[in-house]
Structure 1
Amino acid sequence: MTALLAVARYELRMQARKRSLWISAALLGGVLVLLQGDRGPRSLPAGTPPREVMATWALLFSILMPLAYGMLLADRLVRDRKLRVEPLLESLPHAPVTRLAGKYLGGIAACGLPGLAALLVAATVEFTYRHDPGLFIWALVAFALVTFPGIAMVAGFALVCPIIVSAPLFRVLFVGYWFWGNMLAPGLLPSLTGTLLTPIGDYTVTWLLGNNGPALFAGNPGWLTFLRPDPSGATAAASVAVIILCGLIPLAVAALASHRQARATWPAHEARSTATV
């Protein structure tokens, strides 16, 4: 546990110091604020409950800001191989699984900082004319229920997949997936948009809005209908759980592969040690 926390702390400090994280997140967030349209949080009338205000802000920021997180984390493990520090890291006493889990937790925490900051800034701006301190509480709730699960899912794939397909190719595929799986217009192609697997958090937002939120069932409504149940508190919780679980799947696969590789190489190391003795 100590090694896990040490790796996560190091990863958090290193990633949080990167200007590219804050600049890219600020640019994407700023574009969303300027181009939010009539359905954005700026158009909400006075007297709107703070829960609905901050849920709408969380959904707005979740549309594009996770792209910055995926781009940033895509070269995290690949860089260790390029710099040839991976053998040195493998010689440390903690297991490779611990190092991978620490990088994952640290990466989530680092990427969560600009997401949380964006919601708190939005709550501060809204407070200047709504005068409701509940905005700050609901900003934290919206971050936990809407923003965080998407970051957890993006981080899992962004750390592991570039090892298989290379970081540049992953970034291209990730951008394509993001628009196909989150914002594809109805009737064009079968899509994961509007399902429990959608990491922008529209199921949770719709529940926070009293089931009167944005259109959930975009994409092809006749495809994967079992993943498009009616929005409710239960389906919102299921969506959060499924999204986080999806982010853990590539980590589990990578951990299993690392464990098998270690077991395969262990007899050879043991044989060399015996021969030396």
Structure 2
Amino acid sequence: MTALLAVARYEFRMQARKRSLWIAAVLLGGTLVVLQGDRGPRSLPVGTPAREVMATWALLFSILMPLAYGMLLADRLVRDRRLRVEPLLESLPVGPVARLGGKYLGGVAACGLPGLAALLVAAVTELPKRHDPALLGWALVAFAVVTLPGIAMVAGFALVCPTFLSVPLFRVLFVGYWFWGNMLAPAFLPSLTGTVLTPIGDYAATWLLGSGQTALFAGTPGLLPFLRPDPSGASAALSVAVIVLCGLIPMTAAALAAHRATRQTWPAKA
């Protein structure tokens, strides 16, 4: 556990210092703020409950900002191989599972910083208009249930998939998936949009709204109807759990593969 936390701390500090992470997040987040339209949080009337305001902000930022996280993490493991530091890392007293898990946890935490900062800034800018200090508390809740699970899912695939796909190919496929699986209305083409698998946080945001309205496409009839339960607290919790689990699946597979490779090569090294 100590080794895992040490790797996670190092990874977090390294990723959080990258200017590319913050520049991309600011550009994408700023674009969403400017182009949010009539359904955006700025259009919500004064008197709207703080939880609804911050749910709308969280969903707005989740539309594009995770693209920056996926692009940033896509070359993380590949870069170790390209720079030939992987043999050096294998010589350290840290197992492959701890190294991989630490990279994942540190990457998720680092990518979560811009998302959390965006929500806190949004809450602060809403304070003079709405005069409700609860906005700050609900910003943290919205980050935990809407933003963070999606980051966990994106990070899992962004770290592992480029190890057997090229990084450019993964990035192209990731962008295509993001718009197809999160924002394409099922009425137009078969899509995962509106299912509990949607990392944009649609179900969780709908639960936070709590006023009988759907945040985006949650529960919309379409492909795989068993993945489209009616929005509720239970379905929101299910969606959060499924999204996080989806991010852990590729990490678990990669950890098992690395552990197996270590066991096969250890006798030869000995």
Q: Structure 1 length as normaliser, TM-score?
A: 0.95
Report if aligned partners of 1:186, 1:218 keep a CA contact under 8 Å in 2. Answer: no
In angstroms, what is the RMSD of aligned CA positions?
Answer: 1.1
| Alignment pair present for 1:23 and 2:23 | yes
Structure number with greater Rg is: 1
| Alignment pair present for 1:212 and 2:213 | yes
Partner of 1:83: 83
Partner of 1:156: 156
| Alignment pair present for 1:56 and 2:56 | yes
Q: Distance in 2 between matches of 1:194 and 1:103?
A: 30
Partner of 1:275: none
What is the SS of the residue equivalent to 1:165? coil
Partner of 2:42: 42
Partner of 1:103: 103
Q: Distance in 2 between matches of 1:188 and 1:129?
A: 38
Give aligned pairs, total. 269
Q: Aligned AA for 2:130?
A: R
Q: Aligned AA for 2:213?
A: N
Partner of 1:67: 67
Q: Structure 2 length as normaliser, TM-score?
A: 0.97
1:68 is displaced (CA, Å) by: 0.2
Provide, for residues 189-227 of structure 1, a one-character-per-residue CA deviation record: whole Å limited to 9, x for no partner: 2111000000010101111111313342587x3310000
1:185 is displaced (CA, Å) by: 2.4
255-264 or 226-235, which deviates more: 255-264
Q: What does 1:138-217 align with in structure 2 at a 5 Å threshold? A: 138-210=138-210, 211-217=212-218
Q: Distance in 2 between matches of 1:173 and 1:202?
A: 22
Q: Distance in 2 between matches of 1:20 and 1:217?
A: 32
| Alignment pair present for 1:136 and 2:133 | no
Provide, for residues 149-187 of structure 1, a one-character-per-residue CA deviation record: whole Å limited to 9, x for no partner: 000000000011000101111100000000000001232
Distance 1:218 1:233, change over 3 A: closer
Q: Aligned AA for 2:3?
A: A
Report if aligned partners of 1:112, 1:148 keep a CA contact under 8 Å in 2. Answer: yes
Q: Aligned AA for 1:97?
A: V
Q: Distance in 2 between matches of 1:218 and 1:183?
A: 13
Q: Distance in 2 between matches of 1:238 and 1:218?
A: 13
What is the SS of the residue equivalent to 1:229? coil
Q: Distance in 2 between matches of 1:102 and 1:231?
A: 34
- Residue identity over aligned pairs, in percent, reads 80
Report if aligned partners of 1:185, 1:218 keep a CA contact under 8 Å in 2. Answer: no
Q: Distance in 1 between matches of 2:144 and 2:75?
A: 26
Provide, for residues 101-137 of structure 1, a one-character-per-residue CA deviation record: whole Å limited to 9, x for no partner: 0000000110000000000000000001111000000
Q: Aligned AA for 2:169?
A: L
Partner of 1:273: none
Distance 1:228 1:218, change over 3 A: closer
Q: Distance in 1 between matches of 2:218 and 2:40?
A: 19
What is the SS of the residue equivalent to 1:250? helix
Q: Distance in 1 between matches of 2:258 and 2:15?
A: 24
Report if aligned partners of 1:196, 1:242 keep a CA contact under 8 Å in 2. Answer: yes
| Alignment pair present for 1:229 and 2:229 | yes
1:30 is displaced (CA, Å) by: 0.4
What is the SS of the residue equivalent to 1:212? coil
Which runs of 5 or more structure 1 residues have no equivalent in the other structure?
271-277
